[in-house]
Amino acid sequence: MPPPGSERLSKREVWFKCNRYFLRTIKREDASDRWAEWLSDPWTVHVLNTSPARIGKREIADYIKQFDQRSRLLLGIFEMGSRLHVGFVRIDLDGAGTALVNAVIGEAAHRNRGATTDVFVALLDFLFNTVGVKRTRASVLLRNQVTLTYLLKLGWQREEAPGSAVRSITDGSALETCMLSWTREGYHAFRSTPTGRRILRRVSTGASAPVRIPSAGDK
């Protein structure tokens, strides 16, 4: 019998609604040249510190393979109706109940139109209520003031300790970061505040929609 805490997590195959979008587990066949183009887009290079060098579908497929869908999850963001793939979310779970999340809206036509709100409200519901994490965290480059300001308006809390500096892929300079976070208790309390209620009125999180995490066939 394995020692306590050593059991291997089951694979997670998820699907849940995010108002105008839905999130589901990414599969290898989701790799595309269009996804590869997102990462070399000047906007993405600036806000995420990605390489401007162009890659292709094969490199995206290799990236997808890095996620075991147990403690390292990769979810796609798709538009309801058209099923257009517009972005992705990476989730890294540790053994202490913390989830590090990073989301990218790759399709420019879906940026600055409330997609981030739709995705993060439903994502936080999923992480806290279904996965059962105690805290979520997100790292943001300080130069990405648009995203930082927007997430703070959504209720994310800025941590006092400065984030670790990262090296710029384009010129090697040091880039400052900051960490944002939510505790489970803080998030649930925020939902009852005037600001939280106003945000919830603007989005239909699909919280009552089924979240599918099948175990049959997990390996």
Please state the φ and ψ torsions of residue 31, each to the nearest 5 degrees. Answer: -60, 135
Residue 1 lies in a domain: no
Residue 211 lies in a domain: no
Write out the chain's pLDDT in tens, 219 residues: 344 444 555 677 899 999 999 999 999 999 999 999 999 899 899 988 988 888 999 999 999 999 999 999 999 999 999 999 999 999 999 989 999 999 999 999 998 888 888 999 999 999 999 999 999 999 999 999 989 998 998 899 999 988 889 999 988 999 999 999 999 999 999 999 998 898 888 885 444 343 343 333 333
Measured between alpha carbons, how far is 202 from 195 in angstroms, rounded to an integer? 11
pLDDT of residue 112: 82
Residues 127 and 107: beta-carbon distance below 8 Å: no
pLDDT of residue 11: 74
Burial of 208 (0-12, 13-18, 19+ CB in 10 A): exposed
211, two tokens: 């979240």
Residue 217 lies in a domain: no
pLDDT of residue 206: 44
86 lies in which domain range?
15-204
Residue 36 lies in a domain: yes
pTM: 0.84
pLDDT of residue 210: 38
Residue 83 lies in a domain: yes
Q: How many domains does the chain have?
A: 1
pLDDT of residue 178: 94
Measured between alpha carbons, how far is 109 from 86 in angstroms, rounded to an integer? 9
Measured between alpha carbons, how far is 156 from 153 in angstroms, rounded to an integer? 7
Residue 209 lies in a domain: no
Helix/strand/coil for 198: helix
Cβ atoms < 10 Å from Cβ of 197? 12
Residue 141 lies in a domain: yes
* CATH number for position 118: 3.40.630.30
Residue 5 lies in a domain: no
